[in-house]
Amino acid sequence: MDRHKRVSRKTFLKTALAAAGAFPLNRDRDTPSPIATTAHARHPVVLENAHWRLDLAAGEGLNVELTSASSGITLAQGPYSYSFGSPSFADIHSDHEDHPHTLSLMGQVSGFAVQHTFRISPTEPWIDEQVTIVSRSAVPVSLPYGRGGFVLPVVMHEASADGPLRDFKFVAVPFRREPGGDRKQYADYSIAQVLSECRRSELRATLPVARWGRAVVPRIFETGVIHTDYPLYASEGWVLTDGRRGFLITKYSQNGMEWALLDRVPLDNNRVGLRWGGFGIYEGDPEHGAWIDSNSSYSFGVTRVTAFEGGIREGFYAFRREMESRGHGCRKDFNPPVHWNELYDNRLWWLPDWGMEKPENRKKYYGVNDLKIEAAKARDIGCEALYLDPGWDTAFASKIWDEPRLGPLSEFTAVLRRDYGLSLSLHTPLSGWCDPSSYPRETDRMNPDGTRMDLSLCGASRQYINETRKRLDDLARGGARFFMFDGTMCNGPCWDPAHGHRVPSGRQEHVETTNELVRLVHDRYPEVLVEMHDQMLGGTHLRYVPTYFGHGAGNRERNQTEAQGFDSIWAFELMWDPMTDLVGGHSIALYYFNLAYSLPLYIHIDLRKDNAQCLMFWWNASTCRHLGVGGTNSDPAVREAQRTAMATYRKLEALFKRGTFYGIDELTHVHTALDGSAAVVNCFNLEDRPVRRSVEIDPEQVGLRRVSSYHVSGAASRATEKGYTIAVELPSYGHALVELHEAGREPA
């Protein structure tokens, strides 16, 4: 709330005492909080920096006030909300010598303990919170709907919210636009919507039962359906902004799948509590936080709230900086090979009735000569690697090179290097989408009665992981330099005690072992790139697992190796009809992803669907740091335009692969060199009519150095007080590429 509109000390005290028995908090920034010694609250304390002030008073419950120092807006006020009743807290602990910016406190409730830790940055505009639940009895702690969080009282007038946040809205990060969303879909919500409506989201849409084959779809432990209306608003992060200033709320954990949650709690007749932060079980996750074994504990992820200036775009950039600070960004040496995917021209894949699995068809349509034809296409268009989709192995997704049909793998990769200048990349689906008969039956899931679920692999079993690792090792030793981890879907729980997982296994075990498999590959072959589909819903446009989960360096306490996790993630299956996906709005999700993450996306696209403007090519080159193409367009003029576009892309690829992405708007993207000396601007027109567009470029806003002048090519331009105005004319469904580099210096 604004400082001059904040509730009176009397009102605040009345609310606090009535709900939690806590001592009133001192709310004058320049006056220290009083030290209370009542029966209900001890030692109210303040944690603050130049950006935030957090007042805490603990006793029978926890009383909180969190205020932005720069704006005076209060984001939490009054009793902290717990779904299981208010803990009884002892003194708040602050070690001013070793941890002067950290506070911790422990409370008791119903046979278990609740530990809160608050940490504030001495210089940066953020404050962290983490909650740990500690079981201290022989009885497990069951919290299937556990929830706790800060509460902000909001006055409601009919369908609108009153107060200083009435003009603010919550925006989901990174999926403001969902991959399945059309051009009108945005995950933007007013305060009133969050307080009075369920959230409708297709990010985890309805899921039919899975079956093996080309039309495979995942399932989540036999439930069949994941609802699209959610009482809780869940996202990796939320930007709360009025367009001029804002706050970023995130949840981060590498121990369990968690999300930043928003919901509401009733207060009185005309007030509702906006609950945020803290901890919460969402659709059963994190599983190990919903059921905590006796005499053990579970630490929920860190909630961070960061203040920023600006609107949605600046909030997304704040999220990106946070994720990069946690190790989830693009490496400075990231240089993936541009792929040629033979699938689009592959006669084997398009055979009806899953005919691609028949050995006689593989022999007829997928021999060495067929692959050499595709390698020549890759070389001629300017690709750097031949990517083999289904057909190269002994059975679908066996991950065993079919040597009798294709010859030794090492000889094939040598021919690719020598004759075509290409490396080899492979489609390597995992347990959720493969021919299970290629694996030993001990890797099948087990029923509760000890019988096997025939031909249903347990992706969480050590037997499956060890066998798959061996097969991937053989491929890497033979010269493969990229693996696509498709088929990551979970087949369901397993009760086999010999598999090395919890009994029964859960979603968490499946996701963690899938992530671990990447680290095991990187442990022996760090140069091999591994792409990761969503570890629960891979092969769809859906997203179940937090994007960052399993990325980054391994931790010896949790992982078998400290090797790195996956190198890129799949661009949400936007590969089959990429022009329709772009014009229809689905692919706009890639724009917002790049605002929020520099973690690389990987895609391959069907060039048969592109136009002479190479609109589809340039959009995906602009939004996916690892690019793959394939398919021979029937129009010679389009094929020539594509070769020209690829040559231009290869010349500028350092900017696209590892430069910094900036968004002017959804249809205007900037990629800036890491040293700030050059940039490219991609301008897109998704309409069926030509348009003229004027683009304002402020060098400092897009990471360029403030120098005397830049050379602009590809469009008419003029210098302005802030930078440059670029005028572009875009044909129907067209694209324009503009280059900027320091005068007298060629782009890096």
Q: Torsion angle of alpha carbons 3, 5, 9, 12, nearest 10°?
A: -110
Cα 319 from chain centroid (whole Å):
11
Question: So where are the chain's domains?
Answer: 3-325, 360-570, 586-748
Residue 696 pLDDT exceeds 90: yes
Q: Beta partners for 307?
A: 247
Q: What is the pLDDT of residues 458-478, one digit of tens each?
A: 999 999 999 999 999 999 999
As a whole number, mean pLDDT of residues 165-191 equals: 95
Helix 507-524 / helix 462-477 crossing angle, nearest 10 deg: 30
Cα 514 from chain centroid (whole Å):
16
Return the higher-pLDDT residue of 34 and 379: 379
The structure tokens 């969402």 sit at 282
Which CATH architecture describes the domain 360-570? Alpha-Beta Barrel (3.20)
As a whole number, mean pLDDT of residues 358-381 equals: 97
As a whole number, mean pLDDT of residues 394-422 equals: 97
Which CATH architecture describes the domain 3-325? Distorted Sandwich (2.70)
As a whole number, mean pLDDT of residues 567-586 equals: 96
pLDDT of the residue at 94: 67
Alpha carbon distance 196, 51 (integer Å) = 30
Q: What is the SS3 assignment for 591-649?
A: HHHHHHCCCCEEEEEEHHHCCCCCHHHHHHHHHCCEEEEECCCCCHHHHHHHHHHHHHH
DSSP state of 221: T
Residue 457 pLDDT exceeds 90: yes
Q: What is the pLDDT of residues 241-283, one digit of tens each?
A: 999 999 999 999 999 999 999 999 999 878 999 999 999 999 9
pLDDT of the residue at 541: 87
Residue 545 pLDDT exceeds 90: yes
Alpha carbon distance 603, 641 (integer Å) = 20
Nearest C-alpha neighbor of 488 from the set 540, 569, 432, 529: 432
Structure tokens at 712: 């602009």
Helix (H) or strand (E) holding 290: helix 287-290
Q: In one letter, which amino acid is 332? A: K
The answer, yes or no, to whether the previous bond of 504 is cis (omega within 30 of 0) is yes
Alpha carbon distance 675, 647 (integer Å) = 23
Residue 215 pLDDT exceeds 60: no
As a whole number, mean pLDDT of residues 681-697 equals: 97
DSSP, collapsed to helix, strand or coil, labels residue 404 as helix
Structure tokens at 568: 């890129």
Q: In one letter, which amino acid is 184? A: K
Residue 152 pLDDT exceeds 50: yes
Report the percentage of the chain scoring pLDDT > 70: 90
Q: Binning pLDDT at 50, 70 and 90, where does residue 744 land?
A: low
Residue 27 pLDDT exceeds 70: no
Q: Binning pLDDT at 50, 70 and 90, where does residue 137 land?
A: confident
Query: In what order do the strands lie in the sheet containing 716-719?
Result: 691-697, 724-730, 716-719
Q: Burial-class residue 75 by CB neighbours within 10 Å (0-12, 13-18, 19+).
A: buried
586-748 CATH: 2.60.40.1180
User: How many CB atoms are located within 10 Å of the residue 497 CB?
Assistant: 11
pLDDT of the residue at 681: 98
What are the CA-CA distances from residue 549 to residues 30, 283, 679 (Å)? Answer: 41, 17, 31
- Contact 490/459 with Cβ under 8 angstroms? yes
Alpha carbon distance 389, 483 (integer Å) = 10
The answer to whether the Cα torsion of 390, 394, 396, 398 is positive or negative is negative
Structure tokens at 649: 């892309």
Residue 19 pLDDT exceeds 50: no
Q: Binning pLDDT at 50, 70 and 90, where does residue 169 land?
A: very high
As a whole number, mean pLDDT of residues 488-504 equals: 95
Q: What is the pLDDT of residues 414-425, one digit of tens each?
A: 999 999 999 999
Q: Binning pLDDT at 50, 70 and 90, where does residue 574 land?
A: very high
Structure tokens at 408: 């030794």
Q: Binning pLDDT at 50, 70 and 90, where does residue 34 land?
A: very low
Helix (H) or strand (E) holding 103: strand 102-109
- Contact 550/566 with Cβ under 8 angstroms? yes
pLDDT of the residue at 462: 97
Structure tokens at 661: 């992405």
- Contact 616/734 with Cβ under 8 angstroms? no
| Lowest pLDDT segment from 69-83, 134-148, 600-614 | 134-148
User: How many CB atoms are located within 10 Å of the residue 270 CB?
Assistant: 10
pLDDT of the residue at 139: 87
H helices of 436-587, in order, are 462-477, 507-524, 578-584
Structure tokens at 138: 């022989």
- Contact 147/301 with Cβ under 8 angstroms? no
Q: Binning pLDDT at 50, 70 and 90, where does residue 227 land?
A: low
Alpha carbon distance 617, 734 (integer Å) = 11
Q: What one-character-per-residue DSSP string does 36-52 give?
A: -BSSSEEEEEEEE-SSE
Structure tokens at 473: 């090792």
Find all residues with CB under 8 Å of 86, minimum gap 6, and list them: 20, 60, 61, 62, 79, 109
- Contact 475/399 with Cβ under 8 angstroms? yes
Strand 480-485 and strand 529-532: the pairing is parallel
pLDDT of the residue at 38: 30
As a whole number, mean pLDDT of residues 216-233 equals: 59
Structure tokens at 577: 């009809």
The structure tokens 């050499």 sit at 372
Alpha carbon distance 87, 603 (integer Å) = 49
pLDDT of the residue at 745: 67
Q: Binning pLDDT at 50, 70 and 90, where does residue 30 land?
A: very low
Nearest C-alpha neighbor of 460 from the set 502, 403, 399, 428: 502
Alpha carbon distance 586, 181 (integer Å) = 5
pLDDT of the residue at 228: 79
Helix (H) or strand (E) holding 651: helix 636-651
Residues in the chain: 748
Residue 1 pLDDT exceeds 90: no
The structure tokens 């909030």 sit at 315
- Contact 202/279 with Cβ under 8 angstroms? no
Q: Across the chain, what does the average pLDDT equal? A: 89
